[in-house]
Structure 1
Amino acid sequence: MKFTDPIYKAIHIQDTKILDLINTNAFRRLSSIKQQGNTYFLHPSAVHTRFGHSLGVYELMNKVINHLTSIGDIRISEHDKKVATVAALLHDIGHGPFSHCFQKISGEDHGEWTIKIIEEDEQIRGILNRIPNLLEDVVKVLKGEGEFQVIEEIMYSWLGIDQLDYWNRDLYYSSLQLEPVSIDNLILTLRFVDDRLVMEEEGIPYIEHLVKVKKNLYDTGFGHPFVVGKDLLLREIFRIMQEEKIPFVTSDLKVFFNKQEGERLLIDFLILNDETIYNEIKILSMNKDTEAAALAHLYLSSSSSLQWMEGKPLNAKMNREDVSILDVIIEKKNYSSYTGGIFVQKDDGLYDIMHSSNYIREIASLPLKEHIYFLEKDRITIKK
């Protein structure tokens, strides 16, 4: 079967079990979960989904395994290759509405939901159990237990396929005028040395460009204060609704949030998607003279978000009697910069890429940005 993809042009899948997994309700649901959550408020085209990303990671797993096998750096059994491709396909199946934003709202990690779905969903469990030990081994990879070190390195290291796919994918759907990273050429420079995914020196320019893409996407996209403000607004709306016992209109949300963490069933979670949340906020905004409705209006606005300023709260020039500070967010350097972990192979050993790249060394040394997010009390009063 052929899937048209903007990054890889075409993804051809002949493995019937992979196709069966793609056709499960739990996986199809990912087509209703935005990859970048609220980023679309700033970049209207950023409505790509976890479905496309998951197919992309599957495609890259095959590409990297084939490359490393062809140059003799790894030997992998048919079973382990199956484990690798299934883990790549299902690695994000536990994401909730608006991706990472929902974790803060629900208090439950998407990784834990991923394992729960794989182990408990009847369709997925039934497909994986056709091959002995496949389900158990996929779970081991996704938990990062270390038994499948080669697969885990390919998946999750700094050079891992999860990152290689989503940076190029996020760039494609952004408004940035930057060249994409040449993934196929980058893959050709990868090596597996001393149980670690590393790269040859020829690959350094690709990583420099990747770091440039990362920084620009973070600064002007999901890390931009406007988008972070939308995340915080959504979180604050749900906090107020639960604290003040404002009833959910949507029955699916009512069922989910009326249960405590750990009590929620798979069916309670899998029914939720971006539209569920958006429709609830839209209905809430129609109520009059309530704090939650005012916040909902602000959240739905295409031109307004939370107010913010750069700096630390103690140094901020603001009248504390006039504002309510909702949060202080420090830049996530692992998304915006380079924090170490890419090793370059040279004749005399392995070295961190910072030793060979002035650009990456400069980017990594930049100070972290800190933003204060607040509301003016005379505009919207937030009860604490």
Structure 2
Amino acid sequence: MKRPDGQLQEEKVFKDPVHRYIHVRDELIWELVGTREFQRLRRIRQLGTTYLTFHGAEHTRFNHSLGVYEIMRRMVENLEKKGEWDKDERLVCLAAALLHDVGHGPFSHSFEKVFHMDHEEWTRRIILGDTEINSVLSRMGADFPMRVADVIAKTYDNKLIVSLISSQIDADRMDYLLRDAFYTGVSYGNFDMERILRVMRPSEDQAVFKQSGMHAVEDYIMSRYQMYWQVYFHPVSRSAEVILTKILHRAKHLLANGYEFKLNPRHFHTMFRGETTLEDYIRLDESVISYYFQEWEDEEDVILRDLCQRFMRRHLFQYVECDPSEQMLIWPELQDLFKKIGVDPHYYLVVDSSSDLPYDFYRPGEKDERVPIHLLMPNGSLRELSRESDVVEAISGKKRTDHKLYYPEDLLLDQSEFAEEKQRILALLKKEEE
């Protein structure tokens, strides 16, 4: 029997290694967790190919989404206690936090690059389409699914709510830093979330933080900086991503040119043609991708077979540091040399670049402009974080970029012929690294 206030008869609790407990008191949230589309997130890893570098990184988007919900629940509870919160927005916030990643595909960002997809757009389609999630949300009112979708799209009228789930310090980032640090076994991502939540205060357009809690916010910013360069942009994980991407490109090429697969990649047909339906998308997860990769280890096509064997057996590409200006000078020669020894440079010679901007202040008119973090001063005024913090000021607006050239060292070392070409390739790679 349902309660008229929309609360469960008895609170449901998830045991969680990061937050200890995740509390669910609302029927809406409990029903959303049980939907087909949300349960699919159990089969999509949070960190893509990072498990091939950090063996503990097997956690999923399901884990993370529950964690973001729990942080948002605590944020909303704290704001309600302070009496500065519209209670009609509570369930919008909680639902948006829970569902913010429901549109992620398998291996997330690598998958998006190949198929030119945007997980946020697919999240909106799942929320607004003919899905179990939409059916559950619609019980709260005809406009409720659109309200949730607008929060995720950052177009919702109440900018404070948007900032709680998408800003330079939000529930999403706080959970993934703590969770990813826990599962990868590193200490970089740890920060005092309890302190940050205690000093958070609502303002008209965003959450702000009491000046007395500045050091906890500094710690958060630096934790994020370290996690990106020590974990998220780890060169071995990027090597696996390069191979994953090239497998999908090769399969797409073969299918377009009439190649007869031993196992017909029917799950990919509409994606390769750019005609993916909502049902096609929901049916695809990492277990499906892994099944195809395992089967393709026995394909007739040499490139597809080799790439799949590399990915499934973790025989990854080697890498060297890459200077883009130098690369332009040696790139044509490297490609020609690879072709001469019978190695296709399109699949086996890849430059991968990663960049991050750990914190930025407001730059009007710039692409992807960021709303800065503001401190609430004792006199009631607001002051941008980097103007108070020497630590944050030192990294503000400074975009760091890293370039690496990936190649199959084993194919070069195994060559019994083309000794001269092989030596020239190795010399050019060494020059790149220097």
Question: Do both share a fold (TM > 0.5)?
Answer: yes
The amino acid across from 2:337 in the alignment is D
Aligned residue identity for 2:353: I
| Offset at residue 260 of structure 1 (A) | 5.6
2:51 equivalent among 17, 40, 49: 40
Name the structure 1 match of 2:168: 158
Tell me the equivalent position of 2:407.
375
Identify the residue that residue 58 of structure 1 maps to in structure 2: 69
1:299 aligns to what? 311
State the 1:239 CA deviation: 0.9
* 1:181 shift after superposition: 1.6
Indicate the SS of the match to 2:22. Answer: strand
Partner of 1:339: 360
Which residue of structure 2 aligns with residue 322 of structure 1? 337
Residue 363 (structure 1) aligned with residue 395 (structure 2):
yes
Task: Pick from 88, 93, 115 the counterpart of residue 102 of structure 2.
Answer: 93
Quote the offset at 1:326 in angstroms.
2.1
Q: Report deviation, 1:351.
A: 2.1
- Mapped contact 2:188–2:227 kept (Cα < 8 A): no
Distance 1:284 1:308 in 2: 29
1:29 alignment counterpart: 40
Which residue of 2 is the match for residue 102 of structure 1? 111
Is 1:299–1:305's contact at 8 Å kept on the other side of the alignment?
no
Distance in 1, matches of 2:110 and 2:129, equals 24
Q: Find the partner of 2:222 among 207, 212, 216.
A: 212
Matched residue type, 1:56: G
Task: Write out aligned runs for 1:1-384 (5 A).
Answer: 1-72=12-83, 74-78=84-88, 80-132=89-141, 133-178=143-188, 180-245=190-255, 246=259, 253-259=265-271, 263-287=275-299, 290-302=302-314, 304-314=316-326, 320=334, 321-322=336-337, 324=345, 325-333=349-357, 337-340=358-361, 341-346=372-377, 347=379, 349-364=381-396, 368-375=400-407, 379=411
Q: CA RMSD in A?
A: 2.6
Structure 2 CA distance for aligned equivalents of residues 364 and 228 of structure 1 = 26
1:163, distance to aligned residue in structure 2 (A): 0.8
Residue pair 2:318, 2:409 contacting (<8 A) in 1 also: no
2:421 alignment counterpart: none
Q: 1:212 to 1:267 in 2, by over 3 A?
A: same
Distance in 2 separating the partners of 1:260 and 1:107 = 10
Unaligned regions of 5+ residues in structure 2, if any? 1-11, 339-344, 362-371, 416-434
Give the aligned length: 375
Identify which range, 137-146 or 13-22, moves more after superposition.
137-146
Q: Secondary structure at the match of 1:13?
A: strand
The question of whether the paired residues in 1 share the 8 Å contact of 2:322 and 2:405 is answered with no
1:301-354, Cα deviation, whole Å (9 max, x unpaired):
436335232422535896524354423414122xxx223321112236322211
C-alpha distance after superposition, 1:25-53 (max 9, x if no partner): 11001011101101111111011111011
Distance, in Å, in 2 between the alignment partners of 1:190 and 1:274 is 37
Paired with 2:211 and 2:326, the residues of 1 have a C-alpha distance of 45
How far 1:365 moved relative to its partner?
A: 6.5
Q: Distance in 2 between matches of 1:247 and 1:120?
A: 35
Letter in 2 for 1:343: H
Corresponding letter in the other structure for 2:135:
G
Offset at residue 356 of structure 1 (A):
2.0
Check whether the contact 1:21–1:27 (CA below 8 A) recurs between aligned residues.
yes
1-structure distance, mates of 2:117, 2:246: 17
Q: Specify the structure having the higher radius of gyration (Cα).
A: 2
| Shift in CA distance, 53/179, structure 1 to aligned 2, threshold 3 Å | closer
Q: Which residue of 1 aligns with 2:9?
A: none
TM-score by length of 2: 0.79
Identity of aligned residues (%): 26
List alignment gaps of at least 5 residues for structure 1. Answer: none
**C-alpha distance in 2, partners of 1:31/1:365?**
36
Higher RCO (CA 8 Å, separation ≥ 6 residues): 1
Amino acid at match of 1:102: F
- 3-state SS, counterpart of residue 25 of structure 2: coil
> TM-score scaled by structure 1?
0.89
